[in-house]
Structure formats: C-alpha cells, structure tokens
Structure 1
C-alpha cells in the first residue's frame, strides 16, 4: 500500500495494486458521514471497434452495447442487485459515458457490506438469451424517451453537427435498430475484453479504513489471465464540422440551443491535455462567465437567462467546447458570440478578467473535493486519461496570460463552430431533422 499526501490540498490518497492488474484508490476523508465507492472500466460508447486481445482480429459490435452491458450487470440469477444494496441502506447506480462505465454506491452506513456487493456483482455477469431479449424492450423505451427529451436531443444533434465520423456523435444507448443486433455472445465478448482487471480501477472516498478496503478487494478479486492492452480503433475525422446548423422541433416553451466549437488539437501527452483543458476553461470564463460584461449585456437584452452556461469535453480522441441554454433568438446569440470572440482576439484578453477567471476555475476545482461522489468520478475520468486530478491545482497556478491568449486564437474559430437548436413544436419555420 502506498500513501500520498498533498500539502496544497490537504488531501491524502492510498493506492494498492493487485496481481490481476487491478488498481484501487482510497481518498481518505476524515469525519465525512457519507462514503462513495466506484468500480470503473475504461469502456464507453465510442469503443465499438477494437482488436481482440487474444485472437488479434478486428471486432466491431453494435452501437449501444456498453450501455446495454451496464444494464445487464445489475441482473442476477437470483434477482436484482438493487434489492441487495437496499437491504444495507445504500443508494446504488451506474452510468455509461463516451469513454467509461462506472458502477457505484453511496452510503452512510454498512459501508463494507455494500462494498462486497459492488465487488461481487461487477465481477459476476449473468447473461441469457431470454434476459437479453427482454432488455431490448426496456432500453428501446429508454431510447424513445431520450429522443423526446429536448436537452438530450439538442446535445446529440450538436455532436452530429460537429463530427463527421467520430463515434462520439452516436447516442450512448445506441439506436432502436442497433440494440436489436446485440446478443448474449456479444455481451460476454465485450465483458471479457473490457472488464478485465487491468482495464479497471476501484475508487473509494470517505472516512474508511484503507487497509480494510484493500484487504476486502484482495479477498474478493477474481483471478484473470494476463491480457495485453486493448487496441481501440477510431475512424479518421476531418477538421471541418459536419454541418453548420442542425434544427428540430419538440414540446418546449422556449428555444433551446447549443453552440459548439470543434477542437482538432487531440492525441496529446497527459500533461499537455491538462494544460489545454485548464487554458480552455480560463479563456471561456474570460469570454462568457457570469461576471463578464458580455454575459450581463445578453442577459439584460433578454437573449439569455440563468440557464446559460458552457462546458469543455477534453479527450485524446476528440475534444469540443459547447455553450448554450434557452433563448428567444438562438441565432442572434450565435452571431453575437462569434462577434465577441473576434473582438477579444483583436483587443486581447483583459488581464483583470484573466486573473478573475483563474480564481473561478480554481474555485470550481476545489469545490469538488467537498463531495465524495464528485471528486471520485472526476478522479476516474482523469485517471483513464493518464492525468492526476491532484495535479490540477499546481497546473492552474502555472497557466500564464500569454498561454491563454494563444489558446484563444488557436481554438475559438468560427470555421470550426456550429449551432444546434430545438424550437418549440408550433414554430412555423421548416426545420431539419
């Protein structure tokens, strides 16, 4: 067991490695009443094409299979895993993202009993032809529900506008057609490939005994033969956006929109990924933060409301920035954002705004450490990118004004931008599906 103490954050983390390739981390939080435990695999919706680690053959599976697999792991021969967690007072759940699948629970009592349940069910899949067929109907309903969800729709429409080939544009749950192709054999193939301990980590955060956590894992870990690194195959992606505008109509009171900027500086070493991420967040805060004159102006004009916000998604295979919310005139907001970016490029970033933005980004990062769930999930995201989340404070401090000026000019470009809008259903204009 290795212990690392971070003086700047006053945080301690314990690390243990296992013979089967699994790694476990305990973020010790003294006097916290709530504890989080997550069992995560570096496997998400974009990993539909890969080289089989044993046969070395290229395998391509149906879209949505990572999410389907997440659903099925909660089903056991004797019943449902949620019932086991409920018995010990834990809230359990899971999520599939583009790059990860995470199974977790949060509890204020019976931590080790719940921890054993987590370790048990994630390592013991139970798939049958019958329960796979049954799940297709359940997930099909979920896909239909999300298709009618305006926030989900505007988001994935934006990704379809940004990307030509990258699978990040495909709905995490897949499509009604793709899930019908999923078989029990597909699920076991993907489970045995991506749920190998060498491709997984366990993260615990709370006032727990690290040694007891690590001993529990060692007692319950499954022996697996060595597996080489998984080679994932992604299609080539051009630098241009797929389309400049994508629109649809749904039952909303006010138009919902996202404006996206496609980032073509990808496949960087971990340190450069950290710096690119931080610089983009700082630049965005100087441009669009709630304390800026630009935000105030749009707000006073009634072009945006309190739901206006932005985020940056930074991965080795794709990165994109998105900004949006609700507006009576999304196209005018888009025009004003592009105009504002070009104006700041000419005049330069205000130094006082830069210093303020650095403090905001630092504060946003530090607040995560007060929430066991947020810091654990952030830790998982960062770890799978080869990045140490505890390094962020030091790296935020090291970001210079000149770095952000350079990032502004390199990244925020009208030519790699697009807009997605969901209009109210009674909008008279014709829209593109």
Structure 2
C-alpha cells in the first residue's frame, strides 16, 4: 500500500492497485463523523462506439446506454439497492457524465457494510426484459422533461455548434428513440466491457481506519472473477475547425432571451499534472476576464447586458475541451457580440495584470481550501481520470506557480475567432437577427 503525503495541506492518501486492476484511494479525515465513497468507471455518454470485451470488431450502441445502465444497476432480483443503503443509515446516489459514471454513498455508521454493498451492487448486474422495458418509459419521461428546460437546451445547443459530429452534443440520457433499442444483452455487454475493475477507481474519505478498509476491499475483490484486463478501444469522429457552426438558435417559452458563446479547444489535450495546470490556468484567465469584481463584468452589468444568471466555465476532459459563457439578457445579439469581443481581445485586456492575478489567486486558493472541508467535493474531484495521479491537493501549489505570462499565452492560443460560436434561445414570437 502506497502512502502519498501532502505536507503543505497536512493530508495523506493511501493508494493500492488491486490484483484485478481496481485503483483504490483512501483518505482518513480526523475530526469528521461522516464517510463518503465513490465507485467510478471511465465510461460515459460519449462512449458509444467501441470494441466489446472478448470481441474483435467495433460496435455502435444506442445513445444513452451508459445512463440507462446506471439506473438499472440499482434494481436487483431481491429488490431495490436504495432500500439496503437505507437500512444501513446510508444515503446513496449515482450520476452519469460525458466520460464517467459514478456510484456513491455517505454515512456516519455501518461504513464497512455500506462499502461492501456499493462494491457488490455495481459489480453484480441483473437485467431482465421486463425491467428494462419498464425503465424505458421512466427515462423517456426524464428526457422529455429536460427538453423543456431552457438552460439545458442552451448548453446542448452550443455543444451542437462546436461538436456537430462528436457524441458530446447528444443528451447524456440519449433520445426517446435511441433508448428503445436498449436490450438486457447490450447492457450486460457494456457492463462487462466498461465495468471491468481495471477501468474503475474506488475512493473512500472520512472517519475510517484505512488499514481495515483496504483489507475489506482486498477480500471483497478477491472473491470475484474477471477476464484478463484489456485496453478499451474507442472510436470518435474526426472534426476540424470547419465543422464548427458559427450560429444557431431556437424558440422556447422564456421571458427573456438566453445567449451562450462557446470557444472550442483545438490543441492536443494534456494529461496528468499538465492537464490540471492547463485547467487551472484557463480558470484563472476566465476569472480575470469575467469574475464578479472584474471591470468587464461590472460594465456589462451596469449596461444591463448581463444579470445574476451570468456564468462562465472551462470544461476539460478526454477528447474535448471548451469555454462557454452564458446568461439571460435583454438583447441576445448584443450579449454575444460583447462577450466575443472581450474574448478576442483577452490577451491585451487591461484585466490581465499582476495585481489582479494576485487577487484572483488569493480568492481561488481560499475557495479551494474551504472546499477541502467537504468530503463530497474531495471524492468527486478525485474521481476525474484525466488528471492521472495528480490530485486536488496539487491545486494550491499549481495556482501559486502560474504566471501572468502563462495566462496571456493561454489567451492568445485559445481565443481564436474561427473557434467561436453562438447559440440563442429566443422567446416565441421574437425574430432572429
């Protein structure tokens, strides 16, 4: 068992790779009464074209199957797994993103029993024709609900502009039509391929004895048999800058127009500590340009171009990275024009000064340290595989190391007009420009 110490933050991580390939991380936290665990597979909604385990040819599966599989794993022949967690006094949940599916629980007692339940229900699938068909109706309603959610449609609208060929632009839950093609056989095949321990990680943090916890996990995994680990072969469509759609819009029942500007990342995506530094650099850049105390934001707010709905984010994951800046506005065309102007002029922006960077760094470090008091935040951040062995405990020294020149270089390389796109949601009856 490997021990990784972070002296600056007085934290310690215990790490071990199980014989079957499962990566296990444990962080004991003194002074906490609660424990939190996440069991994560590197399998998300974009993983729809791959070579199944023990096969030679690529297969294309229905959109939304990763999310569907997440739902169905909670249902077993002897009942609902949520009830088992409830009897142990634990709260359980799960989520599917573009690139991962995570199962989790939190508890103040019976942590060992809850952890065993987590490992067993995720690794022992049970599907029938009847229960799969029943779930189709439930998820179809969920999909239709999100189709009526303006902010959800806004986000996937800009993804459709940036990634028209990539499965990233497809709703994580799939479509009503696509989920109708899901069968128990497909679910078992996807589970065998992507839920192999070598493609998964387990993270446990909180009030616990790490030696006893690691022993429990070893014994649990030793009782289960798996085929030899294989590298998963995935296919994603090739895209170029020419595939980016500069603009699109839809009408919905909204009181005010909504606008979002996206900038698609083109450079090769780094991994490990370099990925974490790249993400942090871009986050600092956006905070300097659009943070709540920036002159840019205050000007936009005073002019009525943005309101409290204004938001911005840099997303980085395997096969994609992009910026999105969005908000409700009285004039969507003015909003998008102003945001694009600020992005294109970013490398020369008066906001990019050593003084402003020092302020943003101090604020960001403070928020990061405060977040380390949240077991949920620690576990969820730690389960992002693109960062490799780099962890959120590396974030503070990375923030401290980033220079203004590095931020200006990032702005110059990323903010390219041909990589930018706009999507609007307009109230019904409003004309497009």
State if a TM-score over 0.5 links the two structures.
Answer: yes
Once residues 243 and 280 of structure 2 are traced to their aligned partners in structure 1, the CA distance between those partners, rounded to angstroms, is 24
My pick for the range that moved more, 30-39 or 93-102, is 30-39
My pick for the range that moved more, 48-57 or 311-320, is 48-57
Report the alpha carbon displacement of residue 420 of structure 1 after superposing the two structures with TM.
Answer: 2.0
Partner residue of 2:282? 280
Residue 403, structure 1, aligned to residue 374, structure 2? no
Report the alpha carbon displacement of residue 386 of structure 1 after superposing the two structures with TM.
Answer: 5.5
User: Which structure 2 residues correspond to residues 153-232 of structure 1 after superposition, within 5 A?
Assistant: 153-221=153-221, 222-232=224-234
Pair 1:104–1:43, CA change in 2 (3 A): same
Report the alpha carbon displacement of residue 382 of structure 1 after superposing the two structures with TM.
Answer: 4.4
Report the alpha carbon displacement of residue 84 of structure 1 after superposing the two structures with TM.
Answer: 1.0
Once residues 340 and 48 of structure 2 are traced to their aligned partners in structure 1, the CA distance between those partners, rounded to angstroms, is 35
Q: Count residues in correspondence.
A: 430
Residue 12, structure 1, aligned to residue 19, structure 2? no
Partner residue of 1:249? 251
Report the alpha carbon displacement of residue 218 of structure 1 after superposing the two structures with TM.
Answer: 2.0
Partner residue of 1:30? 30
Residue 238, structure 1, aligned to residue 275, structure 2? no
**1:355 counterpart (355, 358, 361):** 358
Moved over 4 A (4+): 382-386
Once residues 99 and 339 of structure 1 are traced to their aligned partners in structure 2, the CA distance between those partners, rounded to angstroms, is 32
My pick for the range that moved more, 388-397 or 301-310, is 388-397
Query: SS of 2:264's equivalent?
Result: strand
Once residues 171 and 287 of structure 2 are traced to their aligned partners in structure 1, the CA distance between those partners, rounded to angstroms, is 29
Once residues 311 and 422 of structure 2 are traced to their aligned partners in structure 1, the CA distance between those partners, rounded to angstroms, is 15
Query: SS of 2:219's equivalent?
Result: helix
TM-score by length of 1: 0.94
Report the alpha carbon displacement of residue 251 of structure 1 after superposing the two structures with TM.
Answer: 2.8
Pair 1:424–1:294, CA change in 2 (3 A): same
- Segments of structure 1 that go 5 or more residues without pairing to the other structure are none
Report the alpha carbon displacement of residue 177 of structure 1 after superposing the two structures with TM.
Answer: 1.2
Question: Given that residues 42 and 384 in structure 1 are in contact (C-alpha distance below 8 angstroms), is that contact kept between their aligned partners in structure 2?
Answer: no
Partner residue of 2:382? 379
Question: Given that residues 42 and 100 in structure 2 are in contact (C-alpha distance below 8 angstroms), is that contact kept between their aligned partners in structure 1?
Answer: yes
Cα deviation code 1:98-157 (max 9, x no counterpart):
110000011223222222211121111001111111111111111101111111111111
Partner residue of 1:294? 296
Once residues 205 and 34 of structure 2 are traced to their aligned partners in structure 1, the CA distance between those partners, rounded to angstroms, is 9
Cα deviation code 1:52-85 (max 9, x no counterpart):
3422221211111100100000000011111111
Partner residue of 2:347? 345
Report the alpha carbon displacement of residue 274 of structure 1 after superposing the two structures with TM.
Answer: 2.1
Once residues 3 and 272 of structure 2 are traced to their aligned partners in structure 1, the CA distance between those partners, rounded to angstroms, is 22
Report the alpha carbon displacement of residue 266 of structure 1 after superposing the two structures with TM.
Answer: 2.7
Report the alpha carbon displacement of residue 381 of structure 1 after superposing the two structures with TM.
Answer: 1.0
Pair 1:49–1:385, CA change in 2 (3 A): farther
Question: Given that residues 74 and 121 in structure 1 are in contact (C-alpha distance below 8 angstroms), is that contact kept between their aligned partners in structure 2?
Answer: yes
Report the alpha carbon displacement of residue 344 of structure 1 after superposing the two structures with TM.
Answer: 4.0
Once residues 417 and 358 of structure 1 are traced to their aligned partners in structure 2, the CA distance between those partners, rounded to angstroms, is 27
TM-score by length of 2: 0.94
Residue 117, structure 1, aligned to residue 117, structure 2? yes
Q: CA RMSD in A?
A: 1.8
My pick for the range that moved more, 222-231 or 39-48, is 222-231
